Amino acid sequence: MRVVFMGTPDFAVPALHALVNAGYPVVGVVTQPDRPRGRGGRIQPPPVKQAALRMGLPVLQPVRVRDDYFIEQLRELKADIIVVAAYGQILPPSILYLPPRGCVNIHASLLPRYRGAAPIHRAIMNGERETGVTIMLMDEGLDTGDILLQQAVSIEETDNAGVLHDRLALLGAELLLKALQLLKQGNLRRRPQEDSLATYAPPLTREDEIINWEKAARDLYNQIRGLDPWPGARTWWEGKVLKVWRVSIKGEGNPVKGVIPGQVVAAGEEVLVATGKGYLSLQEVQLQGGRRLPIADFLRGHNLVPGTVLGR
């Protein structure tokens, strides 16, 4: 079964490795163009391209997948199936229905929940206790295709988006191979999604990063870990952005009295910040222009004192 693989970020790399290691002929790898990345803005290839080149696979990087020239290139590869994992562009019908076995997608949620671009971040930010991976047959909707295989995983209390991302990427690769094997055997049954149960995971915005200290400590805890390691939750201190990477909850559910949300109430062995309900203990932060630091190291170089109000 000849395979074209379409993917771009780190999430897609385990699936590409799994296909090659399992002996599937990957006749082409399609990924996004090289783009500026990092502080220096240096042009860098996406992770999938790097992996493909290490394995000696041919790489295509169209600016627009709808271009006739690219679609003709794709047609010439004579793929039996296209595997898609976080590619980054919406596929037109001319691609979706090109291979005889269609296009299958690895989606990091239990569809129909969390359709969309940011299912991992949104699941943690919303305090979910469970998520998973869905292998689906793609159609023209936004993650609306029939489900081929699905497997759930628990979201642990200490998971951040990075930890969960890596776990789901490995599970996605494993589940993909199971789906392809069942497909070859003719034993793969598809089932429609229940649209009435659908929820959405829209792309993250700058507003999602802002810490609103009036919210409950539990909600902020989920927000902060759901944005770690990218893009990071942020507040302000002395006119600079202060990213908050890691926290713990203290006094959950207890009303905060005598202080205002965002106010530092202790800055000794730990930094306690009042929220709308309960307190957060800051454990790892990053001041604008600086590095991520454990709070003890941060306090050695910065005078963060009780009475300070963050977010102003």
Indicate left, alpha or beta for 38 from its phi (over 0: left) and psi (-120 to 50: alpha): left
SS3 content of the chain, % helix, strand, coil (to 5): 30, 30, 40
Using one digit for the tens of pLDDT, what is the confidence trace for 18-45?
Answer: 999 999 999 999 999 999 987 778 999 9
Q: Which residues, in sequence order, are CB contacts of 142 under 8 Å at separation 6+? A: 115, 116
Residue with structure tokens 């604008």?
288
Using one digit for the tens of pLDDT, what is the confidence trace for 77-102?
Answer: 999 999 999 999 999 999 999 999 99
Using one digit for the tens of pLDDT, what is the confidence trace for 118-149?
Answer: 999 999 999 999 999 999 999 999 999 999 99
- How many C-beta neighbours within 10 Å does residue 3 have? 23
Q: Which residues, in sequence order, are CB contacts of 174 under 8 Å at separation 6+? A: 18
Using one digit for the tens of pLDDT, what is the confidence trace for 254-296?
Answer: 778 889 999 999 998 889 999 999 999 999 999 999 999 999 9
- Claim: this prediction has a pTM higher than 0.85: yes
Check: CB of residue 311 under 8 Å from CB of residue 263: no
